[in-house]
Structures are given as structure tokens and as C-alpha cells.
Amino acid sequence: MAYNKTLAEKVRELLQRNDGLTEKQMFGGLAFMLNGNMACGVVGEELMVRVGPDNYQDALEQRYTRPMDFTGRPLKGMVYVEEDAIAAALDEWVNRGVEFAGSLPPK
């Protein structure tokens, strides 16, 4: 599956100020890792965000989100953010992923 390279570049620009940033091909797209922990990524035209189990329900209550179900079953703590929400709130969603990844010990 291809991913939106323009969206990936926008995410990369938002994350460049973070130490420990790496990128990894996964889930058929591109994942952005902070100190070895996935924060967010791009799959197809959508943003995937690791919000964590405590913020999962709140994230799903936002418009244009849905459970990340790459495996056919929802991955608790991970959501897809649809294209319609990305233009208006990309930095907010990326920050949610950064906050959760930053709360985990480095790998």
C-alpha cells in the first residue's frame, strides 16, 4: 500500500524538533518513532496516531476518526484520522502521538 508522501513530509516537518526521531516502514505505510516508540504515521491518505489506551475513547469521539483496524481487529490505543480532519488539525493529532510516545520508556 502506498502512502501520501506530501502528508508524510508535513508530519516530518512537525516532528523534526524532537530528539530521537526515526522513520520505519510498517502497516503498509510510514511510521514515525520517538526513541523507538511509534507516535504516528501515514497509511494511504490517512494519519495513524498512537494515542494510548487512556486517550483512546476521547480520540474516537472526535470527528473523522475511527479505530485502527489494520489487522481486521481494532488496535486499542491507535486511531486513523481521515483526510478531512488533517488539514485543520494535523499538528494537534501529531502532538497527541508525541505525548503518548514520550510517556513510554525509550527502546
| CATH number of 5-103, picked from 3.30.1460.30, 3.40.640.10, 3.40.50.620, 3.40.50.1100 | 3.30.1460.30
Distance CA 29, CA 42 (A): 6
Q: What percent of the chain has pLDDT over 90?
A: 83
Tens digits of per-residue pLDDT, 4-56? 999 999 999 999 999 999 999 998 899 999 999 999 999 999 999 999 999 99
Domain ranges in the chain are: 5-103
- Quick one: pLDDT band at residue 70, thresholds 50, 70, 90? confident
User: Would the pTM count as exceeding 0.95?
Assistant: no
Predicted pLDDT at 48: 97
Q: Which of 94, 95, 98 is nearest to 7 (CA)?
A: 94
